[in-house]
Amino acid sequence: MKWLKGMGLLLIANVLIFVTLSITFQVMVNVVLPAFGIDVRDAVNQQDLLWAFIIGFGGAFLSLAFSKQMARAMLECRQIVQPRSHEEQVIYGAVQEIAQRLRIQMPEVWVYEGQDPNAFATGPSKNNSMVAVSTGLLSHLNEQEVKAVLAHEMGHVYNGDMFTTTVLAGLMNTFVYFISRWVYRNLSERNEMLAFGVYMFLQIFLSFLAMIPISWFSRRREFAADAFSAKVYGRDAMISALQAIDRWVNRAQIEYSTQDALATMKISGKSNGFMHLFATHPPIEARVAALKQL
């Protein structure tokens, strides 16, 4: 029943998004743009918007639906079903305790091979999710720090971050496809090869730009997940975990030079200049400062 309810809500959300886009589209094309002397009513059509919506959101939600399977396929991991060691009991017990507090279904708990101290949560809903930690996280962080990181990931699960990120990605994909298609349609009448070339360029370029708002949202949700962890185990535990990760990152940068651990570099938020716009995680210093203000 929960699965059917989730699918129903997903369908309703998609329909509402499409209706909103359609109304906005009609108002922009028929009212707003003509008021500024821009008439594109013969150049765009509702069919392109419908296909853009289907392709944009369809791909995003398919990725979400199979996110757990894809994560397991890409990693060398093992599931903890019945803890067989103190280490496994700490991981499994922390996730179980938080899930019971939140009254949500227990996520799958996995451990995967990886030297970098890392963890992630994924899944289509808060009642159908998985939490995974790397062996590096268990090696470089103490028990309380590991539990704080797990609480952070459970914050993502409870806040529905995977779903909202997917909606945002679907919206961005819709506009990328629609704009690219609109330009192609208008150029193809003059030069088919040129139109196709511009279409492919716009697909790549606009997809690149679309990562800016998606990355911005990702950074915002990290602060929220940190705050959730602070509520569960106290802010000092999460601060200590972040500082332990930061020490490992700094050590890895010196030891491995350019062969650094990509996932943990993203967690550290170490990016400069323009590339900061594409960082999925805020700088650790900013996260620690936010935690201290709680």
Instruction: Identify the residue whose tokens are 């991991």.
Output: 77
Contacts of 291 (CB under 8 A, 6+ apart): 226, 227, 230, 235, 238, 239, 242
> Which 3 state secondary structure label does DSSP give 5?
helix
Q: What is the pLDDT of residue 21?
A: 61
Q: How would you write the pLDDT of the chain (294 residues) with one tens digit per residue?
A: 444 554 555 556 556 666 666 677 667 667 776 787 766 666 556 667 777 777 788 778 888 888 898 888 888 899 999 999 999 999 999 999 999 999 999 999 999 998 889 999 999 999 999 999 999 999 999 999 999 999 999 999 999 999 899 888 988 988 888 888 888 888 887 888 998 899 899 989 999 999 999 999 999 999 999 999 999 999 999 999 999 999 988 887 766 554 444 444 456 555 566 778 888 889 999 999 999 998
Query: Which residue type, as a one-letter code, is found at position 167?
Result: V
Q: What is the pLDDT of residue 239?
A: 97
The answer to whether 268 and 283 have CB atoms below 8 angstroms apart is yes
- State the CB neighbour count (10 A cutoff) for residue 85: 9
Residues across the chain:
294
Helical packing angle, 235-256 and 192-233, nearest 10°: 130
Is 68-158 in CATH node 3.30.110.30? no
Q: What is the pLDDT of residue 15?
A: 62
- What is the separation of C-alpha 197 from the centre of its chain, rounded to a whole number of angstroms? 30
For residue 81, give the DSSP letter: S
Distance CA(153)–CA(219), nearest Å, equals 14
Q: What is the pLDDT of residue 260?
A: 45
Q: What is the pLDDT of residue 84?
A: 92
Q: What is the pLDDT of residue 1?
A: 47
The answer to whether 278 and 271 have CB atoms below 8 angstroms apart is yes
* Six token digits for residue 50: 């419908």
> Which 3 state secondary structure label does DSSP give 209?
helix
Q: Nearest to residue 209, comparing CAs of 159, 274, 289, 144?
A: 274
Distance CA(56)–CA(64), nearest Å, equals 13
The beta strands (E) that lie in 97-230 are given as 108-112, 119-125, 128-134
Q: What is the pLDDT of residue 259?
A: 45
What ranges do the domains of the chain cover?
A: 68-158
For residue 105, give the DSSP letter: P
At 190, phi and psi to the nearest 5?
Answer: -95, -50
Q: What residues form DSSP beta bridges with 122?
A: 130
- Which residues are catalytic, by number? 153
Task: Render 239-274 in DSSP notation, one character per residue.
Answer: HHHHHHHHHHHHHHHHHHTTS--HHHHHHHT---GG
The answer to whether 19 and 53 have CB atoms below 8 angstroms apart is no
Query: Which residue type, as a one-letter code, is found at position 270?
Result: K
* Six token digits for residue 59: 């791909």
The beta strands (E) that lie in the chain are given as 77-79, 108-112, 119-125, 128-134
